[in-house]
Structure 1
Amino acid sequence: MTNPETGSASAVSRTRSDLGRRAALRRQELGLTREEVAARAAASPGYLQYVEEHTADPDIGFMLRLASALETTVAELVGRTTELPAGFGKAAAHPEVLVLSAAECRERLSTHGVGRIAVTIDDAPAIFPVNYTVADELIAYRTAPEAGPAAAAGQDVALEVDHIDDAFSQGWSVLVVGPAHVVTDSHETRRLEEHAHTGPWIGDGRHQWIAIHPNRITGRRIRVMGAHAPSKATP
């Protein structure tokens, strides 16, 4: 049986309906065109487009080249790691820890994503994942009034966003700290709706916007010498 890190033909076959979506998303995360990835993977752009947009069943040789081109693993591309926490990669031999500037932190926050909001409920700390949206100086998310993330309103809260690259044992994290409030102004609500790229992954019924006014944004990055350059922020 093939090592799960490199994948196997049967693993590819079982999850091939997700392969195109995962490959396209990873390519966009890296800021690469199909032509650039195809050249890295020694394939034609037309075939890469077919893999991204159709139900394809590539052989393991192509999968290994594609994973290398996308700076990831076959296991990641076929969804073998979706139920595992990030950080399974081994620590690199000589990592370098860098402090990110405020501008670099905002670049990594980009326009939207998934972060973790830290709040206090009944005098105890609690952390919830949220789909956040960046609108000018505000960082906001939608929730239900009775849901845990709604407890952020009226508090100084922390929002943490990170990205882990298991393939190269590197990554970054950004911490946003500031007061949060329930958005009640209709113009501000409309502006946030216009900026929102996605609804809450958890489902409908979450229409209350909570906005954070950052008064401190800090971040760190773990870089491994010799690894690929970090991914570009994408809209």
Structure 2
Amino acid sequence: RPAGRSRAAAHPRLVPLDAEECWSLLSSHGVGRIGLSLADDPVIVPVNYVVEAGRIAYRTAPGTATARAAGHRVAFEVDAVDDAMSRGWSVLVVGRARHVTEPDMVGRLAELTHAEPWAGGVRDFWVLIDPERLSGRRIETD
């Protein structure tokens, strides 16, 4: 059966997550999705990211959609889904993105990075998201 086409488990519950659990889940992953609107066209793009002092940072290439997020309000989402067990969670961060140019901060972010960007190539344009809103939810079953 294709992913997402399994039946819901008996008695699923949608449980909101508190901020501490949201940050714990965000810190446990390395790939999320950045969502923004560019010239009236919304885009959602996967990015490798790190959590730094309560903020989300990712690196990209100059001129890309994810680089053009700098200076705009964006959505950032991370999730995990278990189709077989009808369980999963999702965390959403909404905030303003900015280009990181301070050499000390760029160095710090580079040290925190555990993986090379999946897209390959030179990715030296860092974007930092300052959260304005954080929310999360989990689907649990009996």
- Cα deviation per residue 1:145-180 (whole Å; 9 max; x = unaligned)? 111111210001100110001120110000001110
Consecutive unaligned residues in structure 1, runs of 5 or more: 6-83, 226-235
Greater Rg, structure 1 or structure 2? 1
In the alignment, does 2:27 pair up with 1:113?
Answer: no
- Of 118, 123, 135, the match for 1:218: 135
Runs of 4 or more off by more than 4 Å in structure 1?
Answer: none
Report if aligned partners of 1:120, 1:151 keep a CA contact under 8 Å in 2: no
In the alignment, does 2:100 pair up with 1:183?
Answer: yes
In the alignment, does 2:124 pair up with 1:207?
Answer: yes
SS of residue paired to 2:30: strand
- Distance in 2 between residues matched to 1:160 and 1:88, nearest whole Å: 22
- Distance in 1 between residues matched to 2:33 and 2:27, nearest whole Å: 16
After TM superposition, the structure 1 = structure 2 runs for residues 56-205 of structure 1, keeping only pairs within 5 Å, are 86-205=3-122
Q: Specify whether residues 190 and 160 from structure 1 end up closer, same or farther in structure 2 by C-alpha distance, changes over 3 A only.
A: same
Q: Specify whether residues 144 and 101 from structure 1 end up closer, same or farther in structure 2 by C-alpha distance, changes over 3 A only.
A: same
Question: Aligned-residue CA RMSD in angstroms?
Answer: 1.4
- Distance in 1 between residues matched to 2:101 and 2:5, nearest whole Å: 42
Q: Specify whether residues 195 and 183 from structure 1 end up closer, same or farther in structure 2 by C-alpha distance, changes over 3 A only.
A: same
Higher relative contact order (CA 8 A, sep 6+): 2
Identify, as 1 or 2, the structure richer in strand.
2
Consecutive unaligned residues in structure 2, runs of 5 or more: none
SS of residue paired to 1:108: helix
Structure 1 counterpart of 2:125, one-letter code? Q
Cα deviation for residue 123 of structure 1 reads: 2.0
- Distance in 2 between residues matched to 1:211 and 1:89, nearest whole Å: 37
Figure out how many residues of one structure are paired with residues of the other and give that number.
Answer: 142
- Cα deviation per residue 1:14-36 (whole Å; 9 max; x = unaligned)? xxxxxxxxxxxxxxxxxxxxxxx
Cα deviation for residue 89 of structure 1 reads: 2.8
Cα deviation for residue 206 of structure 1 reads: 1.3
The normalised TM-score by structure 2 is 0.94
- Cα deviation per residue 1:45-81 (whole Å; 9 max; x = unaligned)? xxxxxxxxxxxxxxxxxxxxxxxxxxxxxxxxxxxxx
SS of residue paired to 1:220: strand
SS of residue paired to 1:189: helix
- Distance in 2 between residues matched to 1:97 and 1:143, nearest whole Å: 34
Report if aligned partners of 1:109, 1:161 keep a CA contact under 8 Å in 2: yes
Structure 2 counterpart of 1:140, one-letter code? A
